[in-house]
Structure 1
Amino acid sequence: MGILKSIFTWWEGATIGTGLATRGMNNVGEDSLGNVYYEGGKDMSGRPRRWVIYNGSNDASRVPPEWFSWLHHLVDAVPDDSMPPRREWQQPPVPNMTGTNLAYRPPGSLDVGGKRVRATGDYEAWTPDA
């Protein structure tokens, strides 16, 4: 099932075509999530072409901020070489949790019971005569 899955599914990592396209390209690094970054060739504006092969599901929110900057040509050097060390107060990036059990559900949403907190009286409805 592995070969057939890599031929026909694009949502769970690289397909065979992507694997063939990366031959001869420069593997420039890997992030903490296991995503692998490549550079090679030129895009239509003459800049080096850069892309990522995801480790797992293809979700752009799984690219850390420093690698996002590199992918979009905001920085020229590879983040491992050019970025300052992470500060102790900085939290690691979190992928998009929409659609998972870890998604944010505000008070009053149907998933939390559908009961909204009663208004406290600080709201006054607008009337055109006022």
Structure 2
Amino acid sequence: MSILGTIFTWWNGATIGTRLFSARNGEQVGHDAQGNVYFRGLKPYPKGHPFAGREQRWVIYNGANDASRVPPEWHGWLHGSFVGVPESNLPPARVWEVDYTPNATGTSDAYLPAGALARGGHRAPATGDYEPWSPDQA
């Protein structure tokens, strides 16, 4: 990304201001497998804030700002579900757990069931096993 893009566009990743704020007002506590970096504030939220007294926590994304890229364990930490960082609270991975896949909504990889408008909007005809409810029959 160009230097101007880094300075002015927040949708392509963290701006220079966000990175400076994080370096100055936060402490890096960890990172995930995708390269996202997590921070905690050096001071709690100020008096009068809805979360007064709670620790400030945030993420700097590695790439596009997409909240679906935050793994569940870090999502829980960001929202204050537990005090310690996820590495200290997670059970070992299960054999059936799959790796993260990004949210494909709005892309060419999005799931489109039969009958979706993007697939032509045609569904298979009803099989005849459907009987609509009628108040007169009740």
TM-score of the superposition, structure 1-length normalised? 0.92
Partner of 2:39: 38
Give, in whole Å, the separation in 1 of the partners of 2:27 and 2:89. 18
One-letter amino acid of the counterpart of residue 117, structure 2: L
Partner of 2:127: 120
| Structure 1 residue corresponding to 2:88, chosen from 56, 81, 84 | 81
Give, in whole Å, the separation in 1 of the partners of 2:22 and 2:132. 61
Partner of 2:12: 12
Partner of 2:29: 28
Runs of 4+ aligned residues of structure 1 deviating over 3 Å after TM superposition are none
| Structure 2 residue corresponding to 1:101, chosen from 93, 100, 108 | 108
Partner of 2:68: 61
3-state SS of 2:88 partner: helix
Is 1:92 the counterpart of 2:94? The answer is: no
- Offset of 1:48 from its aligned partner? 1.2
One-letter amino acid of the counterpart of residue 62, structure 2: N
- Offset of 1:94 from its aligned partner? 2.8
- Offset of 1:115 from its aligned partner? 1.7
One-letter amino acid of the counterpart of residue 15, structure 1: T
Partner of 2:3: 3
3-state SS of 1:111 partner: helix
- Offset of 1:71 from its aligned partner? 0.2
3-state SS of 1:56 partner: coil
Q: Conserved in 2, the CA contact under 8 Å of 1:65 and 1:93?
A: no
Is 1:49 the counterpart of 2:70? The answer is: no
One-letter amino acid of the counterpart of residue 85, structure 1: P
Give, in whole Å, the separation in 2 of the partners of 1:95 and 1:42. 32
What is the number of residues matched between the two proteins? 130
**Range that drifts further, 120-129 or 7-16:** 120-129
Gap runs ≥5 in structure 1: none
- Offset of 1:118 from its aligned partner? 1.1
